[in-house]
A and B are shown apart, each in its own frame.
Chain A
Amino acid sequence: MSQIIWDGLFVGSFYALIALGYSMVYGIIKLLNFAHGDLYMLGAFIGFAVLASFGGLATSLGLFALIIVMMLSMVITGTVGVVIERLAYRPLRGAPRLAVLITAVGASFTLEYGIAAIAGPNPRGFPIRLTGDVFLVLGARVTLPQIVLMIIAGLLMIALDTYIRRTSTGRAMRAISLDMKGALLMGVNVNAVISRTFFIGSALAGAAGVMAGAYYGKIDFLMGFIIGLKAFTAAVIGGIGNIRGAMLGGLVLGLIEAFGSELVGGQWRDAFAFAVLILFLTLRPTGILGERVTERV
């Protein structure tokens, strides 16, 4: 039982980290950024490339090297996120929502098959592997890498939450999500704030990618697809557009999956997760933390 909960929470913290970027982008420009999962994949591949180019030096430094590589990878994926927004989404900002959605799918395929063309289609083993002690907590096996990764994820999430609540950029983000035109009239530099939102969201996905590579040990160019959809599901469960909702949604989805696969078998995991998505969309489309917003005329 406690093992199921722990497994669920661990996977859930990955979902939460990726769901944050999804949710932020949706909150601010009402766009479902389907390329977001592929930024997670991109982060893993950048981490792989950096570690491979440093060779034995980086692997001998272990966790320390991993954190440096993760930061580097965050900067690069963040920048790629900004570039995607600038090239693919901004020109379509006045266009119907469907057009932007399809562009996002296109951006997703471009990233996937771009990486497949550059790095090859084969799965790669990640150069750094996190290994460590095992603790027994209430009967559940908890490993040191799991704890470290969850702490990193937690710190990143707390930093983001503080950033949005305490800084002027954060205030501007919240203002734009409420009323973009109004914010513009009040002198907020809307484009700059949206760029920053993409940077932060993409950087978090990149961090999750490096963490997944180091923990699971395998990366491939399609690894972002399913987890992107899972992050979307997590964002919907928590209340899309709501930052704390995304974190909660990630953890809840992880737990739902863990209990679901215990109940009906591991091969039903994805079917179960997406059935929950459909259930939420029909019964409570605003998610756990979302509020019912009446359309203003």
Chain B
Amino acid sequence: MKTPRRTTALLGIAAAVLLATTACSGGLLGGDSEPDGEAEAGPIKIGMVIPISGSSAPTGAYMENGAQLAVNEINDAGGILDGRMLELLVEDEACDAQQGVASANKLVSSEVVVSVGGYCSGATLPQLPIFGGANVPMIIPAANSQDLVREGLDNVFLINGTGLQQSTAALDFITKSGYTMVALVDDNTSYSTDITTETESQITEDGTAEVVLNTSVNAGESDYSAVVRDITGSGAEIVYWTGYYQEGGLIVDQLRQAGYTGDIMVADGSADATLAEIAGDAAEGVFATMTPTPDTLEGAEEWIANYEAEFDAAPGPYSTQSYDAVRLAAEAIETAGSTDGDEIIAALEGISGFDMFSGPLEFTDEHTLSNGGFVILKMEGGKFILEDSLS
């Protein structure tokens, strides 16, 4: 009896000592171990938390490539701040809040200067205080829930249109096309409910159309017959699905199988070719509210060619925004003349007319784009093409 108990006690003490020392080395030794001179001359680290695993992993790959392309171009041109190279550090968020927090912490402890990640709003939201606490400016290329804006943090900049701007685009298209009865369906995530809430209040305010159904589904199921029955029974002329494509594909398919003949529109989380892979022929003619993708942009041919040469694949959604996020970060660091968080934030706030895929950049007081740049796409032959630029 004696020996095991003593062993446990010893083990406990050993564990406590180990924990204490590692905690110290992270907090105190970590900062001292790197001589100042080396930090000044070494590569400038840019962090990126994106979905590498999980259901949104394909988009994460596009984002990483887009960011890497910008890093390569900047490094080939001689780097920034008198020849310092950029280094992209990528971590997984898996569209999961806990994973996102762990990855953000990891990046902060590897001393990134700027963060250019953020895809799932639900996973990005809890990262804000972590990067904020470390005074790391965040340039968020994709996540666009109004929740991110509502936090009102100084270090957060959104270069994708927001949920509010997306719902404005949806309303524009709805009124323009003369639909009068609209059904809104979300998947209960922050990103998705944000768009349906904003769309419903805007449609109600506008008054030309009416929301006949606003409902939610559980993500991760196969059978959506309940919501399909609700939609067909509601008399809606257009359904606006604001969740991601894996459920979107099933809902589109099941709606058509149930004989729904109205139009279907999806939000940017579903604007992906995988939607057609899941829904098959039913996806034909589906509209999407989306910020421009490379293949719908005019004058992006050279950029697409560079991308294809580099990664041997076609660029997908959010590769342009990620590319722009890195370029914007580099521009801000160069303007600030420093890697200090406060100075970069000041530089970002002062930026005016910086040329991006979505147009010349101006930030609003809320650190969102002054112009969301949303367009309407339409699925034809398994691919989304530009239907209406809404301008």
Residues of A within 8 A of B (CB): 3-4, 7, 10-11, 116, 120-125, 129, 131, 134, 141, 143, 212, 216-218, 220, 222-223, 226-227, 257-258, 261-262, 265-267, 269-270
Contacts and interface: CB of A to CB of B under 8 A. Distances in A.
A267 B217 contact: yes
Closest 8 interchain pairs by CB?
A: A261-B226, A125-B277, A266-B226, A7-B225, A267-B216, A266-B227, A216-B222, A123-B246
A121 B246 CA distance: 12
Given A134-B259, A258-B225, A121 B220 contact: no
B55 A122 contact: yes
A121 B216 contact: no
11 contacts: A7-B229, A10-B225, A123-B55, A123-B274, A216-B250, A216-B253, A220-B246, A222-B220, A261-B226, A262-B226, A266-B226
Contacts of B253: 216-217
A266 B278 contact: no
Interface string B56-99: 01100000000000000000000000000000000000000000
B258 interface: yes
A116 B55 CA distance: 11
Contacts of A121: 53-55, 57
A129 B55 CA distance: 21
Interface string B195-225: 0000000000000000000011110111111
SS class, residues of chain A in contact with chain B: helix
Interface in B243-260: 246, 249-250, 253, 257-259
B55 to A, nearest CB: 6
A226 B218 CA distance: 11
B225 A217 contact: no
Contact of A218 (B57, B58, B218, B246): B246
B217 A11 contact: no
B223 A216 contact: yes
B352 to A, nearest CB: 40
Interface residues of B, number: 32
B188 interface: yes
Contact of A125 (B53, B224, B226, B274): B274
B230 interface: yes
Best-surrounded residue of A3, A4, A10 (most CB of chain B within 10 A): A3
A215 to B, nearest CB: 8
Contacts of A125: 249, 274, 277-278, 280
Contacts of B140: none
A186 to B, nearest CB: 44
Interface in B266-283: 274, 277-280
B232 to A, nearest CB: 9
A129 B220 contact: no
A266 B224 contact: yes
Given A121-B55, A262-B226, A143 B274 contact: no
Interface string B323-348: 00000000000000000000000000
Nearest to A3: B229
A148 B187 CA distance: 31
A134 to B, nearest CB: 7
A266 B215 CA distance: 8
B226 A258 contact: yes
Contact of A217 (B53, B223, B280): B280
Contact of A141 (B54, B216, B246, B259): B259
A266 B223 CA distance: 10
Contacts of A4: 229
A143 B220 CA distance: 24
A120 B56 CA distance: 12
Nearest to B61: A122
A230 B81 CA distance: 59
Contacts of A269: 218, 221, 226
Contacts of B217: 266-267
Given A223-B222, A266-B230, A269-B221, 9 more contacts: A4-B229, A7-B226, A11-B225, A121-B54, A125-B274, A217-B253, A217-B279, A267-B188, A270-B218
Contacts of A122: 55, 57-58
B234 to A, nearest CB: 13
Nearest to A254: B223
A270 B221 CA distance: 10
Contacts of A267: 188, 215-218
A109 B195 CA distance: 35
A59 B249 CA distance: 20
B187 to A, nearest CB: 9
A141 B277 contact: no
Contact of B280 (A120, A124, A129): A129
A174 B188 CA distance: 46
A7 B228 CA distance: 11
Contacts of B277: 124-125
A257 B230 CA distance: 14
Nearest to B225: A7
Nearest to B185: A266
Nearest to A216: B222
B307 to A, nearest CB: 21
B250 A217 contact: yes
Interface string B372-384: 0000000000000
A265 B225 CA distance: 11
A262 B229 CA distance: 8
Contact of A265 (B215, B220, B223, B250): B215
Contacts of B257: 134, 141, 143
A129 B250 CA distance: 12
Contacts of A10: 225
Contacts of B225: 7, 10-11, 258
A257 B216 CA distance: 16
A258 B55 CA distance: 27
Contacts of A261: 226
Contacts of A262: 226, 229
A223 B219 CA distance: 11
A11 B221 CA distance: 12
